[in-house]
Structure 1
Amino acid sequence: MAVNNGSAILECKQQQTSTEKDWWYSHYRQLAHYLGLLCFLLTIAALFQTLCLAQITLVFRSQSTLQEARLKDLTHKLDKLNQSHRLLFSQYPALNQYCPLTNATTNERECRPCLANWTSRGESCYLFSRDRADWISSQYHCMAAGGALVRVNSEEEQIFLWNQAKTLSHGDSYWVGLRSSGADGGWQWSDGSPLDQGPQFWESEPDKGDSRELCARISPGENYRTDWVNSRCSNHLRRICERRQASLQ
């Protein structure tokens, strides 16, 4: 009876050992399966990442090549523009007066509609001179600069001239392009148009019976409405020249 019990116990232990082996084997196969699956997924992810990096690299290289081509084309166009620019200024030296060189290293220029020392307003440029001359000589000086003695066309322009004259003249007067025609006492602008067609800003109304040749000057006082004074054209005064602004159109 004891022998049978020992055999049963031995068989039971052998069965238990076999069950434990089967359990561990089963879990080992599952673990191996999961590890294989994980490795497969990691391999797929690595391949996908490699493909993405390769595509990004190709796109970057393509864009880089395209940008280099564009840069080369723009550089070529810039060189042609610089050559045309230099040729233009060499053929027309007067352009240097409107577009003076501001940087000799880069050949950078600053263009403006009026010459140096001229003041821009509206479509005109104005020069308030420092030297003095009679009315005729003043007109010639303005014409030599491409303009004429100023003609006042509006109250706004009169206010501008009056303010500038007060600021710059230190009490001096300026010739404007207005003079009497002589015996009849009529006043005309230097372009031949009669004064009656526009605004007037006399300090005191000129005597129409005065047969002397008189010219008008701006004498900056307290009121721009009474700022014109008639004076002998032979007097030596400063002048206000006017010319149209430069335009590319």
Structure 2
Amino acid sequence: MLAKYNSTRDMLDDDDTTISLYSRASRQPEPRHSENGTPSSVWRPVALTLLTLCLVLLIGLAALGLVFFQFYQLSNIQQDNISEKDEKLGNFSRQLQLLQIQNRKIAETLQHVAVKLCREMYNKSGGHRCSPCPENWKWHGDKCYQFYKESKNWQSCEYFCLAENATMLKISSQEELDFAMPQSYSEFFYSYWTGLSRNGSGKAWLWMDGTPYSFELFEIIIDPTNIRNRDCMTIFNGKAYSKDCKELRRCACERMAGRVVPEQLY
């Protein structure tokens, strides 16, 4: 009997132990949830916002890249067009220069022929409307000459020639000497002032432009018995004389000839 009692007691103790364990297990606190929710639910809107911003930035960068690429292509096209136009302009400029050179050569040739024809007609008729000189002026070489009848002193002749857009006669070559000296022949003892003078006895003879007088070309006749200053040169009857600059002599002027007009050859 005692053994049966002990067995029954042991069984009851086992049941109490089981019940006690179950009760403690049932009384354990459940895990608390945060009042603010889980972390994933908080960061999800932020992540979506950032993703949206990234997408917007990528789209903007892509648009900027497309615009830059189009601008780059347009710039290259414009640069090519500019280079092509510059090349065409350069070719046109070179062609224009060649045409100008050819036209200048043709004009020079035409002027040379016109001068030759005009000079022949001028020499045959003693004057022609094609002459490149003013009316009543003599044409010789590339200059025009006028031997006036008015008598003036040397300085007045200088001013007179300047007023005619000319200078006083200059003889610096054999051709000019051969032309000028025959113009000085006069039966009334009229001589012509030239542009040759000196600044006192013993000084160098100079033309008005500063060119020195050539002793080899002609001789200046000086009267040593005359005590007056004889520092200006005249030409008379094919010879050159030193005279007083205050004396009254005729004026001889010269100027460059103009261009022969081909239309006036007819």
TM-score range, shorter chain: 0.3 to 0.5
How high is the TM-score relative to the length of structure 1? 0.47
**Structure ID, larger Rg:** 2
How high is the TM-score relative to the length of structure 2? 0.44
